[in-house]
Structure 1
Amino acid sequence: MKMNLTSMVFLLILSTSSLVCSFLMLFSGGSYFIEWEILSLNSCSLEMALIIDWMSMMFMSFVTFISAMVLFYSGGYMSGDNNMNRFMYLVLGFVASMGFLIISPNLVSILVGWDGLGLVSYALVIYYQNEKSANAGMITALSNRVGDVAILLSIALMFSLGGWNFIFYTGSTEIREIIGLCALVVLAGMTKSAQIPFSAWLPAAMAAPTPVSALVHSSTLVTAGVYLLIRFSEALDGTIVQTVLLLLASLTMFMAGLGANFETDLKKIIALSTLSQLGVMMSILAMGWPELAFFHLLAHALFKALLFMCAGAVIHSAGDYQDIRAMGGLVSFMPLSVMSINLANLALCGTPFLAGFYSKDLILEVAFFSPLNEICFWLLAGATGLTVCYTFRLIFYSLSGDYNLSSAAGVSDEDSTMTWPMIMLGVGAVAGGASLSWLIFPAPCMICLSLDFKLLALIVSVLGGLGGYLLNMMSVNYTLKSLGSYSLVVFAGSMWFMPFLSTRGVSNGVLILGSLYQQTGDGGWSEYYGGQGAYSFFSKTSGYLQIAQDNSVKVYMVVLVMWLVALLIII
């Protein structure tokens, strides 16, 4: 517990100082660029670079604040764990990797934080050492390795520009001409932020402890790809890569919203909600509005961390149940947690004057105002309705229905170590959106839309909420309609078979090829002509030398006879 408090105080001090720096730079318009040259190769310098501007400092402040709350919360949630210190060190390593990625404007130095996130996330996903966690960790690591390779290839392509400080090149036409570079950076961002077709790992990563999920899904791992593309956004303007990203992001948010309506695992519902919101960020980024994506990134971080903490409190109190069908009626037993989870859910739906409203409503209006193609338009509107639908479904099943838990479950809000961070983040979920909108967009902006478009977001939200609550209420009292179209429900509820296709392709393709290569290459010819072959050759040779040095008369006689025979043959 002492380590928890020390880490939390340090992170809170860092958060406050970062926020003050961000305010100063935002109002003055200044920024600092720190650079150390490590080596110079063919007039191309390899530097260690750091950027300190309003965006990096504000994101750093949010990351450290949420991390401090998560560490304090972990003191209650993980109190019975035997490896508490190891867990804390892993979380701190995770935060340090994310911080390094935030302040790196150089593709070479960004790789340190990028790979650090991948490595520590694997260690956290397999923290509970069982088969399910091992499988989830493997798909998480393999999916993220695709992005790591894309970053390495983009480093090679940027060599032609004379440096790797991409922040200096994003506005130039030279970088737009290298379409391969833009495509690789977008690929890296898509793998880290779990866009289609790399979405399977994000719900699987729920095998990690709930405090880790609160950190990962709010401000660290999954937002790293969005943050990289925000920094790289100028280079994507007007390219075909931007159009492809818009379509894939729109499909991702629709797919995740649809899947969440058929999911019964509490943590996976919130994970699919994160995936849907990442699609919203990516889509508005692909439309050419990086500051709006950053605004939603910060607002989303506050209420999503709160949502996971509340879910963790419910799971922890309910005897580690995660199935929402085995909950219900929790408002009578956990009023603070239920109030907080409702607050986070309403902020997620974009309820007026909560954190999500200021970013989501602005994103929808800007999207409807932009020259958006019809497919993406309807996907965006449909995903908005589905968000409200699965939110109200969650409220009905776990919070307001009949009490379905075992009579032995002691459900309460007694642990103050877990409730205080929820209260702090609850304040952020209420006031964070308005404060950020005043800071990031100080000048008012007029968006002229027709009445139909103005009311569209409200209409789909109301319809989604009614559908989510009433349909699930009917499904309890009447026959389940979904059983009549079972195949369609399985398709929608399994993320369009993406986890199956991802794992099947890896197990049947990549792993079999790797096994063949290991047998014929590493374990075959490479061993025969490499390490094992050399070992065998030198062992035999040293044996012959040892025999020759034994001063045996028999050996000398054999050698003498061989020389005489050879001499006779020659003569």
Structure 2
Amino acid sequence: MIKFNFYVVWFFMMLLISMISFYFGMIFNLLNYSLIIEVSLLNVNSVNLSYVLLFDFISMMFMSVVLFISSMVILYSYSYMGGISNSSLRFLFLVILFVLSMILMIMSPNLLSIMLGWDGLGLISYCLVIYYMSNNSYVAGLITCLTNRIGDAGLIICISWMLSYGSWHFIFYKDYFDSYISWLMIMSCFTKSAQIPFSCWLPAAMAAPTPVSALVHSSTLVTAGVYLLIRFNNNLFFSNTLLFISLMTMVFSSICANFEFDLKKIIALSTLSQLGLMMVSLLMNMIDLSFFHLLTHAMFKSLLFLCAGIFIFYMNDNQDIRLMGIVCNSMPFTTACFNISTMALCGIPFLSGFYSKDLIVESYLNFNMNTFMFIIMYLSLGLTSSYSIRLCYYSIMHNNKLMSLNLVFDKFSFMKLSIYFLTFFSVFFGCLQMWMINLDLTLIMMPTYIKIMTLLMVMFGFWMGLEMFNLSYLFTNNFYLFNSKMWFLFSHSYFLYNKFYNVSIYSNNYLLMWGEYYGAVGLSYYLMNISLKMQNLINNNIKMFLITFLIWFMFMI
């Protein structure tokens, strides 16, 4: 009962703060108003160390979405993680610390406090990835931690570089930054948002519990890089190389998802594809559209993960989609919510994902790009629809090969209650945002056949995904292995980390053998051995004992 009260209290608290943040976000947007609260902590010569909180439309809206999804995840976790288990309270506190670290990063325009939230996200995400304490979890946690440390290094160098400005409030100096700080910040954000070649940690983080995956991949950890680049929008510059990397991330993740059979990894790769789309819009200076897609994507992606968690929960922790099937007969409501989130991911008209995704693609068409870039964008759209219909076919229409579903049914629980709310927002949140947010949009004029080309590519992706079942004999086992292993990117990363780890072990042994053996540690061992030998000599030799007693007696006199 105590644990249940903790879950309920934090659920209502986060939901209430989310509604308050949404209200003030709308007020700030209507009045074009921002509020900065600065608390001066220390002045050292010309360097001012202070803590700053920034309240504006972007921070309040994003914090509202993060807290709303967090409240749904906490309510969901009470049933999923076992509300009466001994570890559920530890899990709840880890999730709360994770959300607080994200809010610390959202609300601060200061690089030092952003670094605290950034490191808090990395540390607590590592604790959550290794939550089940298995060998696979430890390897996934190692990959996640080491990859994110690369981005942390870039942020630390930015903090050191900004010391010459006398302050770390980047929001006041972003018009005066040189290209080095911009490149370091882009590298940090690309690492945190898992762009190529740092993509391998995102599917590896699926070793965490499913509610954490819903939180991490919708609105917190992986979106931190996109959000930080939105804050650094004045320092973003168009680069064909960065744009090509983001486009290749979209295609790469979509192709790998078409040959993956792990349910959670497929959804993780879909997150990677959408992060690439956000980066593309950012690099083309479409800041408002990127933020709009960030909000809508958070809603339907969290719903997608939570529905997948219910499937896994009732399938005895099975995540292989080849063993699922016909769950639409036993769990019709959950299946319907799962399909709604999948269709929103594809950009089916008048769902949440359509309003942001279609605008980004149409704006991309008006950008001065070559034909190859257009082909990559439309190929990624088709592949997104392909793995989505493949996922629906395997998990819903395919014959069940694991267990009897006679005793599996849609019963009311806290998991279902959280899905109710997220389904509503996955359908209506996009249009509500369009009506309430004054987006800086330009009128896009194009012929009808180009206008419907995006929808036709989505339909073509559906057909291609269904035809893959009939043409599966054309793909060899090595081809499946190559794509399911993310083009061996995970193996290459593990090889690189392993080499660095071996170097650290060798250097540690070298220092232990020479530096410490002939230094303080070796000297302490030597003196300890001498004292033990002297003590044995005194205790076992009567002459030494008498001489020692005589010397002690003489000194006492």
Report SS of the residue matched to 2:39.
Answer: strand
Structure 1: state its 5+ residue gaps: 557-571
- 8 A Cα contact 2:288 2:439, kept in partner: no
146, 160, 173: which is aligned to 2:150?
146
In the alignment, the residues of structure 1 paired with residue 467 and residue 529 of structure 2 have an alpha-carbon distance, to the nearest angstrom, of 81
2:147 & 2:486 partners in 1: Cα distance? 16
Alignment correspondent of 2:346? 349
Report deviation, 1:227.
0.5
Alpha-carbon distance in 2 for matches of 1:442, 1:154: 31
The aligned counterpart of 2:335 is 338
1:103 partner letter: M
Greater shift after overlay, 350-359 or 152-161?
152-161
The match for 1:510 is: 500
In structure 2, distance between residues paired with 1:321 and 1:405: 9
Distance 2:520 2:384 in 1: 58
Q: Residue 39 of structure 1 aligns to a residue in which SS? A: strand
Q: 1:519 to 1:467 in 2, by over 3 A?
A: same
- Helix, strand or coil: the match of 2:145? helix
Residue 14 (structure 1) aligned to one of 13, 17, 21: 17
Q: Is 1:520 the counterpart of 2:510 in the alignment?
A: yes
Q: Which residue of 2 aligns with 1:162?
A: 166
Q: Are 2:206 and 2:264, in contact at CA under 8 Å, matched by a contact in 1? A: yes
User: What letter matches 1:296 in structure 2?
Assistant: H
2:181 maps to which residue? 181
Matched positions, count = 541
Match in the other structure for 2:541: none
Distance in 1 (alpha carbons) for counterparts of 2:398 and 2:493: 36
Q: For 2:114 and 2:440, how far apart are their aligned partners in 1?
A: 33
Task: Specify the code of the residue in structure 2 equivalent to 1:235.
Answer: N
2:109 aligned residue: 105
Give CA deviations for 1:406-455 in whole Å, capped at 9, x if unaligned: 12773222142110110100000011001112233357631122344323
Relative to structure 1, the CA distance from residue 297 to residue 531 in structure 2 (aligned partners, 3 Å threshold; closer, same or farther) is farther
Instruction: Find the aligned partners of 1:231 and 1:212 in 2 and give their Cα distance.
Output: 26
Q: CA deviation at 1:77?
A: 0.7
Q: Which residue of 2 aligns with 1:120?
A: 124
For the structure 1 residues 277 and 443, does the alpha-carbon distance in structure 2 shift closer, same or farther, using more than 3 Å as the test? closer
What is the distance in 2 between the residues matched to 1:305 and 1:442? Answer: 24
Task: Measure the CA separation in 2 of the matches of 1:223 and 1:409.
Answer: 40
- Confirm or deny: 8 A CA contact 2:304 2:341 kept in the other structure: yes
For residue 446 of structure 1, the aligned residue among 420, 443, 446 is 443
For residue 341 of structure 1, report the CA deviation from its aligned partner: 0.3
Aligned partner of 2:214: which letter?
A
TM-score, normalising length from structure 1?
Answer: 0.90
- State the Cα RMSD in Å: 2.3
Partner of 1:245 in structure 2? 242
Partners of 2:288 and 2:440 within 8 A in 1: no
Residue in 2 that maps onto 1:414: 411
| Residue 210 of structure 2 is aligned to residue 217 of structure 1 | no
**2:193 matched residue in structure 1:** 193
Q: Which stretch shows the higher mean deviation, 229-238 or 403-412?
A: 403-412
- Of 55, 58, 63, the residue aligned with 2:58 is 55
CA deviation string 1:281-336 (max 9, x = no partner):
01111111121111100000000000000000111011111111111111111011
Displacement, 1:393?
Answer: 0.5
In the other structure, the counterpart of 1:481 is 473
Q: Equivalent residue of 2:285, what SS?
A: coil
Q: Which amino acid aligns with 2:131?
A: Y
CA contact under 8 A between 1:319 and 1:409: conserved in structure 2? no
Give the counterpart letter for 1:481 in structure 2: Y
What is the deviation of 1:34?
Answer: 1.4
Indicate if the aligned counterparts of 1:318 and 1:409 stay in contact, CA closer than 8 A.
Answer: no
Segment drifting more, 399-408 vs 531-540 = 531-540
The answer to whether structure 1 residue 532 and structure 2 residue 521 are counterparts is yes
Partner of 2:78: 75
Counterpart CA distance in 2 for 1:30 and 1:293 is 21
Structure 1 residue 46: deviation in Å?
2.0
The 8 Å contact of residues 295 and 440 in structure 1, kept in 2 or not, is answered as no
Distance 1:90 1:531 in 2: 40
- 2:167 alignment partner, SS class: coil
Q: How many Å separate the matches in 1 of 2:191 and 2:406?
A: 40
- Do the aligned residues in 2 keep the contact of 1:318 with 1:410 (CA within 8 Å)? no
Equivalent residues in 2 for 1:323-472 (5 A)? 323-407=320-404, 410-441=407-438, 445-472=442-469
Structure 1 residues 525, 555: closer, same or farther in 2, change over 3 A?
farther
Gaps of 5+ in 2: 539-543, 553-557
Instruction: Tell me if the contact between 2:28 and 2:56 (Cα under 8 Å) persists in the aligned partners.
Output: yes
1:565 counterpart residue number: none
Q: TM-score, normalised by structure 2?
A: 0.92
**Matched position secondary structure for 1:402:** coil
Give the Å deviation of 1:541: 9.5
**Contact 1:249 / 1:282 at 8 angstroms: preserved in 2?**
yes
For residue 230 of structure 2, what is the aligned residue in structure 1? 230
Change (3 A) 1:50 1:412: same
Q: Is the 8 A contact 2:330 2:405 kept in 1?
A: no
Residue aligned with 2:223, SS: helix
Decide whether the 8 Å contact of 2:200 with 2:490 is kept in 1: yes
In the TM superposition, residue 183 of structure 1 has moved relative to its aligned partner by 1.3
Report the Cα offset of residue 99 of structure 1.
Answer: 0.5
Q: CA deviation at 1:542?
A: 8.5
What's the CA shift for 1:11?
A: 0.3
Instruction: Find out whether 1:46 has 2:36 as its counterpart.
Output: no
